[in-house]
Amino acid sequence: MSFEDYSGIWVFIEVKDGEVVPVSLELLGAGRELADKRGTELAGVLIGENVTHLADTVFEYGADTVYVYDHAIFKNYRTESYMKALLECCEKYKPEVILYGATSTGKDLASAVATDLPTGLTADSTILDIEEDTGLLLASRPAFGGNIMATILCKKYRPQMATVRPKVMKALTPEPGRTGRLVEEKTSLKEDDIRTKVLEIVQHTTKKVRIDEADIIVAGGKGLGSANGFQLVHDLAETLGGAVGASRDVVEAGWVEHHHQVGQTGVTVTPKIYFAIGISGAIQHIVGMQNSSLIIAINNDPEAAIFQSSHYGIVGDAFEIVPLLIQQFKQAFNQEVVDHV
């Protein structure tokens, strides 16, 4: 394998409901930095049906080139069809690095592609860097349930691949009108080549909460006493434009649905602000939210473990503290709006 043949940083562009998912935009931001440091180009690989127009977004968020596979066979994500397209693209243009969002789709695709290439794949990275002269990708990731961080290298194979957790990289501010090179690829794939079929896609009917993508999460625990008491969490979340999170005990009590659950058996989240209200701080909860940028705990027990894992703590009764906070926030927001008018 001659490494000189491989160049360019690629991002797999994941599309959901006709839009580029946020983590792909974040990866374009991270990829731009790597590409600039390495003095090479940044490309997006866009696969789907009726997706070509999304290339504009990919350019605006920093890509120089977009490779597009736009065909009915790619209507829904399926491992085999997407994998074959990506493998073919790799074969043809030989990228040095490919990044994928660590989503259910990104992880599934990356694992399959890595095996076929074959090459190394670093899972769930949270820090990326690249050696300027050698092009060696330094991908760091949490392991052992978040107990350690490890830097993983892939010295002998190209491309180097990593999945990257949502919300840890920063998207660039889009530059409207920024454009690049659009390369439309054909596919020879036939429906008979693919051994799986998507029969149905079922989305949760409740208000769409993607807590793994939220910037602000207000999470509540058993300390709120009842479904009624838990309403406080909804209220603060609404005031701040955030999503609602919950501990497992709350989900088991039936106050909210499972997809709000944060933790080991729930969702891993990395918002910019995480409120933990009436949550004791069991390790299974902590592992799901410990990478949030700013953690604020409100609990009436000064000994609660959650204070060990938070940046700011308030000891007090949630039923006193949270309404005050809502009131003060509303005031402050109005104030700011008035100031700007």
Does 280 help bind ligand FAD (rule: CB under 6 A)? yes
Between 40 and 292, CB nearer to ligand FAD = 292
Among 124, 129, 185, 249, binds another protein (CB under 8 A): 124
Among 121, 137, 169, 209, binds ligand FAD (CB under 6 A): 121
Does 159 help bind ligand FAD (rule: CB under 6 A)? no
CA dist., res. 324 & res. 318, Å (int):
10
Q: Which does 180 bind (CB under 5 to 8 A by kind): another protein, ligand FAD, none?
A: none
Between 5 and 339, CB nearer to another protein = 339
Site residues for ligand FAD, 213-252, by CB under 6 A, read 221-223, 247-250
Whether 292 and 215 have beta carbons less than 8 Å apart is answered as: no
Does 227 help bind another protein (rule: CB under 8 A)? no
Does 25 help bind ligand FAD (rule: CB under 6 A)? no
Between 159 and 288, CB nearer to ligand FAD = 288
Q: Containing H/E element for 160?
A: strand 160-164
Does 123 help bind another protein (rule: CB under 8 A)? yes
Per CB under 6 A, the segment of 32-40, 54-62, 233-241, 299-307 that binds ligand FAD is 299-307
Residue with tokens 């994500």: 77
How many Cβ atoms sit within 10 Å of the Cβ of residue 108?
Answer: 17
Does 185 help bind ligand FAD (rule: CB under 6 A)? no
CA dist., res. 262 & res. 334, Å (int):
31
CA dist., res. 327 & res. 233, Å (int):
14
Phi, psi of 112 (to 5 degrees): -70, -45
CA dist., res. 84 & res. 77, Å (int):
12
Whether 124 and 165 have beta carbons less than 8 Å apart is answered as: yes
Vertex 251 angle, CA 297 and 313, to 5°:
5
Between 116 and 317, CB nearer to ligand FAD = 317
Q: How far is the CB of 90 from another protein (least distance, A)?
A: 15
Site residues for another protein, 309-338, by CB under 8 A, read 309-316, 320-321, 324-325, 328-329, 332-334, 336-337
Does 260 help bind ligand FAD (rule: CB under 6 A)? no
Applying CB under 6 A, what is the total number of residues that bind ligand FAD? 35
Does 290 help bind another protein (rule: CB under 8 A)? yes
Between 180 and 266, CB nearer to another protein = 266
What's the gap between Cα 324 and its chain centre?
A: 32
Instruction: Tally the residues of the chain.
Output: 341
The burial class, CB within 10 Å (0-12 / 13-18 / 19+), for 253 is: middle
Binding mask 229-268 for another protein (x = CB under 8 A): ---------xxxxx---------------xx-----x---
74 closest CA partner among 42, 43, 105: 105
Residues 6+ apart with CB under 8 A from 170: 26, 29, 30
Binding mask 131-170 for another protein (x = CB under 8 A): -------x-x-xxxxxxxxxxxxxxxx-------------
Residues 6+ apart with CB under 8 A from 9: 31, 34, 35, 38, 40, 41, 42, 43, 95, 96, 97, 99
Q: Which does 72 bind (CB under 5 to 8 A by kind): ligand FAD, another protein, none?
A: none
Site residues for ligand FAD, 302-341, by CB under 6 A, read 304, 317-319
Helix (H, G, I), strand (E, B) or coil at 187: coil
Give contact residues for ligand FAD (rule: CB under 6 A): 121-123, 141, 143, 150, 152, 221-223, 247-250, 261-266, 278-280, 282, 284-285, 288, 298-301, 304, 317-319
